[in-house]
């Protein structure tokens, strides 16, 4: 039986990426209903993407018996409320990052799904780039030995904070929640280790203004050091990653952002191997993976716990930036 999907929040990414990814599920799933507070917008979105029904309140979608999975794409500060309501209604949830804007709320979301026995996923689609699926396999196999250092840059260019993302009450943070959460999560995933301590700076110094650039040094529990540059300020950016191991190096070119064509270079004593990769289908792969996790009772990749760990890490990052000191991450 195909699984029915509902979308709460009909913003740009939901329309350009997630709804098409749901439709790409074919016989495995379909888009049943969407929600927007604007009736015209909801109906137009439903018509464009072939949804059966359009609602103006999320409670109506949660009562829809044909909806098995809810994709939440509302402003950050609303994620916890909508996710917990979905758990109470018996729906599985794939939630856009961040899972919540506070550690306490993220923990409440995870606990709600654990209590309900439902699947909770956090939409870190970067895990599903083909380049990083291969990189994960290489690292797990020990192809480049122990990982010593990782450097990664992730940017969307010189983009201003717009709409609700410019509102601190709705966004929580600026580029940290918009951009940096992806490389933070990706490094955790690739290394299979949590961050122990962090030192960070942002372009707004120690103020509470919304940042558009964060630079972070991370020390993982396994000893690996990492440098993350995540920003919405730099033109002609380099969406690349360098992974240095004791026995080799992995370089990902043009692969840390979605909808790009890039390559992976693996250098070992045996020589260099270069493979071409695309991140254009990352959202399709991510949605399909969550659909499969629900259908076959598997742990989602990324899970709700991964979402909680992400919020715990970003909390430490912004604390470090605002207080000007090294911060140990609390789990």
Task: Report the C-alpha gap between 205 and 20 in whole angstroms.
Answer: 39
User: For residue 133, what pLDDT is reported?
Assistant: 96
**In the chain, what percentage of residues exceed pLDDT 90?**
99
pLDDT score, position 233: 96
Q: What is the DSSP letter of 96?
A: P
Closest CA to 186 of 279, 299, 79, 76: 279
Give percent of the chain above pLDDT 70.
100
pLDDT in tens, 261-314: 999 999 999 999 999 999 999 999 999 999 999 999 999 999 999 999 999 999
Q: How does the average pLDDT of the chain come out, rounded?
A: 97
Helices (H), 216-328: 282-295, 304-323
pLDDT of residue 1: 86
Contact 240, 230 (CB under 8 A): no
> Which domains occur in the chain, in start order?
3-125+286-302 (3.40.50.720), 129-280+311-328 (3.30.360.10)
Tens of pLDDT, residue by residue over 178-208, are 999 999 999 999 999 999 999 999 999 999 9
Q: What radius of gyration do the chain's Cα atoms show?
A: 19
| 12-53 pLDDT, tens digit each | 999 999 999 999 999 999 999 999 999 999 999 999 999 999
Residue 282: partners with Cβ closer than 8 Å, 6 or more residues away: 125, 126, 128, 129, 130, 258
Report which DSSP code applies to 303: B
């Amino acid at each position: 039986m195909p699984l029915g999907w509902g979308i709460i929040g009909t913003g740009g990414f939901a329309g350009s990426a997630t709804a098409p990814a749901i439709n790409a599920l074919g016989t495995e799933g379909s888009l049943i209903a969407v929600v927007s507070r604007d009736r015209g917008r909801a109906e137009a979105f439903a018509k464009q993407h072939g949804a059966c029904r359009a609602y103006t309140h999320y409670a109506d979608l949660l009562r829809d018996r044909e909806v098995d999975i809810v994709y939440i794409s509302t402003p950050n500060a609303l994620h916890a409320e909508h996710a917990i309501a979905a758990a109470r209604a018996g729906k599985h949830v794939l939630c856009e990052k961040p899972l919540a804007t506070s550690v306490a709320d993220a923990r409440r979301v995870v606990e709600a799904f654990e209590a309900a026995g439902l699947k909770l996923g956090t939409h870190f689609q970067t895990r599903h780039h083909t380049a990083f699926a291969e990189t994960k396999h290489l690292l797990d196999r020990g192809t480049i030995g122990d990982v010593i250092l990782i450097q990664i840059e992730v940017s969307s260019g010189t983009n201003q904070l717009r709409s609700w993302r410019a509102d601190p009450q709705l966004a929580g943070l600026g580029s940290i929640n918009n951009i940096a959460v992806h490389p933070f999560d990706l490094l955790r995933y690739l290394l299979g280790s949590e961050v122990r301590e962090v030192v960070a700076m942002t372009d707004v110094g120690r103020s509470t203004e919304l940042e558009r650039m964060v630079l972070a040094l991370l020390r993982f529990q396994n000893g690996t050091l990492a440098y993350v540059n995540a920003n919405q300020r730099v033109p002609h950016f380099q969406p690349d990653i360098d992974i240095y191991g004791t026995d080799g190096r992995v370089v990902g070119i043009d692969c840390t952002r979605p909808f790009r064509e890039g390559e992976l270079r693996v250098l070992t004593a045996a020589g260099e191997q270069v493979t071409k990769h695309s991140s254009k289908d990352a959202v399709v792969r991510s949605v399909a993976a969550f659909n499969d996790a629900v259908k076959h009772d598997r742990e989602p990749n990324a899970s709700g716990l991964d979402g909680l760990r992400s919020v715990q890490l970003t909390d430490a990052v912004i604390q470090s930036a605002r207080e000007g000191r090294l911060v140990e991450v609390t789990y």
